[in-house]
Amino acid sequence: MRFIWMIFASLLVAMVAILPRLSRHAKAPTPPAASDPAPFARPASLRSEAASAALATRADSIVAFGLAQQGTPYVYAGTSPLTGFDCSGFIMYTFAHFGVSVPHSTALLIDVGRPVARAEAQPGDIVVFTGTAETSTTPGHAGIVISQRGEVPLRFVHASSSRREPFVKVNQVENSDYERRFMQVRRVLGPGAGMVATARPKLPTPTNAPSVAHLQAHPVAVEDVATPTAPLPSKLAPKKLVKPLARATTSHKKSTSTMHTAKKAAKPTKRKVSAKTTVKKRTASTL
């Protein structure tokens, strides 16, 4: 029995001695490893990858939507697939479907977004060309790039105004007249491309503009004035048709009288001729 009590007492002494040490080790914080920079670098890289993936998806959606408009006829100043497109109207309609505002003017498209090199053009960029004239140096046509970055030839979808194929279609820059007319590639999607040219810039409002007092409206009573109206006749007088009939009978009588006089004038001539012929016959018989 004594042996059991001695074992129990030794266990209590051991527990009293060990428990404080265990509590100290549990409270002590573990310092982070200074040589592992991964926890700080991963969130930024993940955000950039997600943003680039979303941007690529948006650009592909814009290209697919633009290609779906193929065959829509070319119409000057057109901005709808129901009536037709011109080159800038097609670009404005396509980008506006995804919430991107671009002007309806080829002369202003050369200033939208930011310029990029021709070799770095990617889907969703805007390619700007000069006019069809050989001496033209100003923007006159534009389209949406559909080729991947670094792909040759550079292809684009646009609303063509050519006589043979005046509708939305796909063309390439290389080995065509568009290579001579090429001006620039503009990027309106992504960072640094938020500035968009507008046709009418907003003017700054004056800060010290005088306030205009509002005028109070006073109600004015308007009296109803009865306008006199003439009474309508209860019965309508019948029209007399006697005079036209009398005129018709008198004209008929005049025509018949003129016919009788013409006949009477023609009869004496016949009698005279017959008398002459009888005289000639008598003289011939006497001879």
Q: What are the tens digits of pLDDT across the range 30-88?
A: 655 555 554 445 566 666 777 778 888 999 999 999 999 999 999 999 999 999 999 99
Average pLDDT over residues 132-158: 96
pLDDT at residue 202 in the model: 44
Strand partners, 144: 126, 157
Arithmetic mean of pLDDT over the chain: 77
Highest mean pLDDT among 43-47, 158-162, 239-243, 252-256: 158-162
Range in 1-5, 61-65, 100-104 with the lowest mean pLDDT:
1-5
Domains of the chain, each with CATH number or no CATH: 61-187 (3.90.1720.10)
Gap between the Cα atoms of 153 and 183, Å rounded = 16
Q: What is the average per-residue pLDDT within 152-159? A: 97
Q: What is the DSSP string of 118-133?
A: GGG--TT-EEEEE-SS
For residue 211, the model assigns a pLDDT of 57
CA distances for 114 relative to 78, 97, 109, 146, angstroms? 26, 21, 11, 18
Residue 138 has pLDDT above 50, yes or no: yes
Distance of alpha carbon 242 from alpha carbon 252, whole angstroms: 15
| Residue type present at position 203 | L
In this structure, which amino acid lies at residue 125?
D
Residue with the bigger pLDDT between 221 and 178: it is: 178
User: What is the torsion angle, in degrees rounded to the nearest 10, for the CA atoms of residue 43, residue 50, residue 45 and residue 40?
Assistant: 0
As beta bridge partners, residue 127 has 143, 185
Question: What's residue 12's pLDDT?
Answer: 78
Residue 39: predicted pLDDT: 47
Residue 24 has a pLDDT of: 64
pLDDT tens for 184-233 read: 999 999 887 665 444 444 444 545 555 555 556 666 666 666 666 666 66
Torsion over CA: 274, 279, 285, 287 (sign): negative
Model confidence at 106: pLDDT above 90: yes
